[in-house]
Amino acid sequence: MSTTPTIPRHMQRDRFAPVPETQAARDEDDFPTIRTSLGTTARLITRYADVREVLGDAERFSNEGLPPLPTPDGEDRRAGNLLATDPPEHTRLRRLLTGEFTVKRIRRLEPRITEIVDEHLDAMEAAGPPADLVSAFALPVPSLVICELLGVPYADRDDFQTRSTRQIDLSLSLEERGRVAAESRAYMGELVDRARSAPGDDMLGMLIREHGDDLTRSELIGIASLLLIAGHETTANMLGLGTLALLRAPDQLAHVRDEPDAVAPAIEELLRFLSVVHSGIPRSVRHDTTVGGRPVAAGELLVLSLPAANRDPAATDHPDDLDVTRAVAPHVAFGHGVHHCLGAPLARAEMAVAFPALLRRFPGLALGIPFDEVEFRSATVVHGLRALPVTW
């Protein structure tokens, strides 16, 4: 395990699981106080019911009181960032986007997702084993999908992938992350300006054509930046970690590979078991109140451990076991409440195509190094693997 003391406790993992002290917090009488990546303190919420209570109540728990994140050009980095806005502003912004992510709209993308998946599997097969599954498959597939959907040139991927990884890497200083964020905004600003003069058929073009008068340039940049980062960092890490988890459970891998009806429930179980996003964004307590009957004070910051909640025995039997045959795997891997992941239908569709396609293409897929040598990514906002050497 490669965690260092500087990593906030809610981001520390023991391979797939949250660290034992975070798991144990569910049984403690009080909410533990932890230090956040910004150096402030927060209360850690770990029970499934408590996490749902906090995230499900935007009246009592909000962004109010969180420090603004100014950029060097004087703009507020929160503009257009859905996660950082509260209703009714949040409702206005989210409603502009939800139509693009309906279950029906996403189903129409499935043929293109399948082509992208197949092209990457073809390339892996042609190059022959071994391969790094992260760089050959898990990262490029969702990255290309979100680029096409959003209207970001895929040719720019090396730059924006590096930037997005650095922006969520907490081992870098705040200044460094701020500098990368500013670069990222400048890049997205150019794309927004280009799309404003010639809006394409993609999501950025749609936003400008249909809502160009309602959205400021800053808001467009904020929305596009969030979708770009959220669109590939999350699914990419689910594909990498999910493949590793299945390789560790060959019977379950075979079930997902051979039974088409097993795929959708297996994805929910992998979402629950892996919970790649360590925490929902911190919520600020607006007035003195209680969570699960226990007091929290006005102004306190609450950090919600999604993986701890998803391994709460009160919500799931044998929560530390991966079991893709569960009838229902209740989870908060996509969050809960008004900030529930907008892209969840897209993420599910990508995984539903990618996992079975990978496993059927390479029935002999195997880990290329001993499990103990697999490098888990630490100190990033999204859990994942640095690389996943595989053979077949």
Partner 1 sequence: MRIQADRDVCIGAGNCVLAAEDVFDQDDDAVVEVLQDHPGPDQESEVRNAVAQCPSGALSLVDD
Show contacts with partner 1 in window 346-365 (CB under 8 A).
Answer: 348
One residue of 98, 162, 290, 325 binding partner 1 per CB under 8 A: 98
State the CB neighbour count (10 A cutoff) for residue 111.
10
Location of structure tokens 């999501």: 203
Q: How far is the CB of 99 from partner 1 (least distance, A)?
A: 5
Taking each helix axis from N to C end, the angle separating 344-361 and 103-127, rounded to the nearest 10 degrees, works out to: 30
Check if the beta carbon of residue 339 is closer than 8 Å to that of residue 83: yes
State the CB neighbour count (10 A cutoff) for residue 19.
18
Quick one: tokens of 363? Answer: 């029935």
Q: How far is CA 270 from the centre of its chain?
A: 13
One residue of 20, 24, 33, 95 binding partner 1 per CB under 8 A: 95
One residue of 345, 356, 368, 384 binding partner 1 per CB under 8 A: 345
Check if the beta carbon of residue 13 is closer than 8 Å to that of residue 22: no
Backbone dihedral angles phi then psi of residue 361, each to the nearest 5 degrees: -65, -40
Q: How far is the CB of 27 from partner 1 (least distance, A)?
A: 24
Check if the beta carbon of residue 10 is closer than 8 Å to that of residue 303: yes
The C-alpha atoms of residue 243 and residue 249 are separated, in whole angstroms, by 10
| Residue 280 in the binding site for partner 1 (CB under 8 A) | no
Q: How far is the CB of 96 from partner 1 (least distance, A)?
A: 9
Measured at the CA of 167, the angle between CA 300 and CA 51, to 5 degrees, comes to: 35
One residue of 94, 272, 278, 326 binding partner 1 per CB under 8 A: 94
| Residue 146 in the binding site for partner 1 (CB under 8 A) | no
Q: How far is the CB of 336 from partner 1 (least distance, A)?
A: 5
Q: How far is the CB of 349 from partner 1 (least distance, A)?
A: 10
| Residue 272 in the binding site for partner 1 (CB under 8 A) | no
Region of 183-191, 238-246, 272-280, 343-351 interacting with partner 1 (CB under 8 A): 343-351
CA distances from 391 to 29, 45, 114, 247, 372 (A): 47, 40, 22, 11, 17
Show contacts with partner 1 in window 283-342 (CB under 8 A).
Answer: 328, 330, 334-338, 340-342
Q: How far is the CB of 147 from partner 1 (least distance, A)?
A: 22
Check if the beta carbon of residue 386 is closer than 8 Å to that of residue 378: no
CB-nearer residue toward partner 1: 43 or 94: 94
| Residue 212 in the binding site for partner 1 (CB under 8 A) | no
CB-nearer residue toward partner 1: 52 or 257: 52
CB-nearer residue toward partner 1: 2 or 102: 102
As a whole number of Å, the end-to-end CA separation of the chain is 27
| Residue 260 in the binding site for partner 1 (CB under 8 A) | no
Region of 66-74, 101-109, 289-297, 382-390 interacting with partner 1 (CB under 8 A): 101-109
| Residue 189 in the binding site for partner 1 (CB under 8 A) | no
Q: How far is the CB of 267 from partner 1 (least distance, A)?
A: 10
Concatenated DSSP letters of 197-243:
HS--SSHHHHHHHHHTTTS-HHHHHHHHHHHHHHHHHHHHHHHHHHH
| Residue 228 in the binding site for partner 1 (CB under 8 A) | no
Binding-site ranges for partner 1 (CB under 8 A): 55-56, 94-95, 98-99, 101-104, 264, 328, 330, 334-338, 340-342, 344-345, 348
